[in-house]
A and B are shown apart, each in its own frame.
Chain A
Amino acid sequence: MTLSTTDTTWYPVASSTDLPLRHVFHGQLLGRELAIWRADDGNVNVWENRCLHRGVRLSIGINEGGELKCQYHGWRYANRSAGCTYIPAHPADAPARRITNTTYPVVEAFGLVWSANNGAGEFAPFADAEAGDWFALRPVPVNAPADAVIEALEQFAFAPADDDFRAETVAERLPGLGIRMTARSVKGSSSAVFFVQPVDAGRSVIRGLLEGTPEDAIERLHDHNATLTALRDRLERAAARKPAPEPLTPSFEKVSVELSTMPEITIGSALTLRAVVKRKWATAAGITAFELAALDGNHLPTFQPGAHIDVHLPNGLSRQYSITNGPGELLSYTIGVKRDLASKGGSEALIDSVREGDVLAISEPRNNFPLRRDTIRTVLIAGGIGITPILSMARFLAKSNLPYELHYIVRSQDQIAFRDQIDALGANVTLHIGLPRAAIAETISKTLGAHSFAQHVYICGPGSLLETVRSTAADLGWPDEAVHYEYFRNDRVIDDSSAFEVELARSAMTLHIPSGKTILEVMREAGLQVSSSCEQGACGTCLTGVMEGTPDHQDVYLNASEKRANNCIMTCVSRSLTPRLVLDI
């Protein structure tokens, strides 16, 4: 039998007990090294043992519970998806979603962790596996080829217990380099299964499972370990007399140049997913929470703290909602929706007409509100429904034991959303309940204090709170780049009275923008495919580079210094101060 690097058989690659929390196991299957780790939610990840960045083994990385951190340059990868969530060299940016490590299929069953090459079919347990109660033996690595090991196991004088040595043993081959041993004696019968994990051409691991948990477990483990070790020594002596087989040479996809240098800008994804409403509940007065899961039960795409999704509503509208989840929580996204009577009907449609079990179209997560993880102090300020991205940020910082404080401003006790999650954050949270409007600025001022190096504040909430924090922070000497916020909507009155020309440099097209029409609208009428989302200058989706001319910024997405730079524009609301504007599109 020759091992093949493209074999898609399922093999055991670790014992369940090999994977305590916050550990990374170093494994190998068919020549391919694996980093295997259990997240705090119990999920087992089997990944290619190589950081996408510089190729360093992830098995020497740090299991942070929801993310795995590479030891070399600190790139973090999410539980389940292996998507990159943070790049320390670009602390203010959200990594591109396509930075995703290679994952392999995994099933944890009968005390073992099973994996296979990609393209493998469904995991099929060995015959009668599910009827039994299985007790994993100590795995025994052997420096011998898998076929020699399985042949030797077939002749193995197996005795389930030491007084069964007169038992008659029957060995039966199982698919996937397995053997079932059944020993029958006057006392009855007992059985065990042994699997050979083909590590490489000349290396294997024997993984055994006893049927039923023995009473004298430790003694039995010692006995079986001793007999398997003796078998190993025999196999290794025989293997040493033969020429060593050539190691397998699995092929690896090369890491692209862009991946190993700069993360790309994440703006503008049009991909839509279908998600089922798994749970819908009132999380606070006027706020309904929705838990959205993938239709096929698989994990959802990687998100970073601060990210949002577009939810396409039954009435044809689409709205942005922040993901509240903590690190590595990818089986569902939980969002909070506030009933907003003044809105165009987005929240009403969700709250009133969407029920548990309904299917919604959502976008992949996008992040316009990335969280730095290189700070001495992070102040998170949430007002009302603004808690949603802030909660996710707090949960990421808490998991990584980074210093932060969360200030949650609500009008009354019953408006505190996601109470369980808030309480779980403990003393890092300060609730400000029913603060009089006049006291807010003073509270913010006391909370922030004077700015010092590596302090950052993140604000999400109503426009008035945002303005208060921004002006208070500015008065206290906080620089623009230390004040982070995300607008839900643009409350400014848009002045669309101007008329001007727009030259599209890459499309070789000149368009006239009349008063009353946006650049975005005219571009679409001209047949261009341009992504947009909120269409009120708040979300950043339609961000476009400006090559010549001076934009008339009317959005709330760009900060003051970005606006002053005049090198980009939100085409959904902003216009031109010069007769001609040249866009990089």
Chain B
Amino acid sequence: MTIILYDFELSGNCYKLRLLMSILGVRYDIIPVDFYPGRQHKSDWFLKLNPLGQLPVLVDDGLVLRDSGAILAYLARKYDPSGLWFPTEPAQLSEVLQWHAFADDITATASAARLALGMFYDFDLPKVQAGAHRLFRLMDEHLWFGEREGRDWLCAAPHPTTADIACFPYVMLSEEGGISRMDYPAIRRWTDRVRRIPGFMVMSGIFPAGRAAAE
């Protein structure tokens, strides 16, 4: 029984899965897909795996899965015995899914800006940058009040969930899309907390945070 991740090293969406599997201690193999400049995610062989032509794809024991948010939910339900990473209690589940959707909005803006600047994609750069700032403002406000209300993570639960994993990568990579996080101090503190989750791993452009102060 093996897990295979069809992966592009510089993809934040692929990194979401590497990150959660690293935290959960799940072993997996990687098949590299040359997203840029090779555009292999639009090649015939890849479209047979995912007709949408999008990364990542994860194959677990023959089961083919697509969409990073859906795969995060799958991995958490299947490989996290604590059940904390993707809760099933209705209110909590809905809250996590709201942030999964928010993460997709971050992908559509912050990641698009990064693709435009770094991989020459044809996006309306000022528009996607402004869109990312709009989302980051909401997120910073949510996290700033969270700090005062005793909430460290995006969801109300007293522990991180896949919501945090889903939103984290393209927030951290935003500067590659010309989107400064200087105006979002609460987001910057939250990224420290995510980077201190045991089992955290880095990717290109995402640096470690160093240790927390001793309690």
User: Could you tell me the distance in whole angstroms from the C-beta of B199 to the nearest C-beta in chain A?
Assistant: 18
> Which B residues lie within 8 Å of A563 (CB)?
none
State whether A62 touches B182 (Cβ < 8 A). no
Name the B residues within 8 Å of A205 (CB-CB): 183
- Total A-B Cβ pairs within 8 A: 52
A203's nearest neighbour on chain B, judged by CB, is: B183
Q: Is the CB of A26 within 8 A of B211?
A: no
| CB proximity of B83 to chain A, nearest CB, Å | 30
Q: Is A17 among interface residues, defined by CB-CB distance under 8 A?
A: yes
Q: Contact check: which of B141, B147, B181, B211 meets A17 at CB < 8 Å?
A: B147
With A20-B189, A218-B149 already in contact, the answer to whether A40 and B213 are too (CB < 8 A) is yes
Q: How far is the CA of A137 from the CA of B207 in the complex (A)?
A: 31
Chain B residues near A14 (CB-CB < 8 A):
185
| B residues near A65, Cβ cutoff 8 Å | 213
B66 touches A (CB below 8 Å): no
Q: Which of B185, B208, B213 contacts A21 (CB 8 A)?
A: B213
**A226 nearest in chain B by CB position:** B141
Pair B185/A221 contact, Cβ less than 8 Å = no
The reply to whether the CB of B209 lies closer than 8 angstroms to some CB of chain A is: yes
Chain B 135-165: CB-based contact to A (< 8 A → 1; otherwise 0): 0000001001101110000000000000000
A104 within 8 A of B: no
- Judge if B77 is at the interface, Cβ distance under 8 Å: no
The answer, yes or no, to whether A176 is at the interface (CB within 8 Å) is: no
Any A CB within 8 A of the CB of B80: no
- How distant is B31 from chain A, measured CB to nearest CB, in Å? 31
Which of A64, A139, A141, A221 touches B210 (beta carbons < 8 Å)? A64
A62 touches B141 (CB 8 A): no
Segment 2-22 of A: residues with Cβ below 8 Å from B? 14, 17-18, 20-22
Q: Does B192 contact A (CB under 8 A)?
A: yes
Complexed CA–CA distance, A14 and B207 (Å)? 23
Give A18 to B183 CA distance when docked, in angstroms. 12
B181 to chain A minimum Cβ distance, whole angstroms, is 7
CA distance A65 to B149 in the complex (A): 26
Question: Residues of A with Cβ closer than 8 Å to B?
Answer: 14, 17-18, 20-23, 25-28, 33, 40, 60, 62-65, 69, 71, 138-139, 141, 205, 217-218, 221-222, 225, 401
In the assembled complex, 18 residue pairs joining A and B whose CB atoms fall closer than 8 Å, in A order, are A14-B185, A20-B189, A21-B212, A22-B192, A22-B209, A22-B212, A25-B185, A25-B188, A26-B181, A26-B188, A33-B182, A40-B213, A60-B207, A62-B208, A64-B210, A69-B210, A138-B144, A138-B145
Given A18-B185, A69-B210, A218-B149, 15 extra CB contacts under 8 A: A17-B147, A20-B213, A22-B209, A22-B212, A26-B182, A33-B182, A62-B208, A62-B210, A65-B213, A138-B145, A139-B185, A218-B148, A221-B148, A222-B145, A401-B211
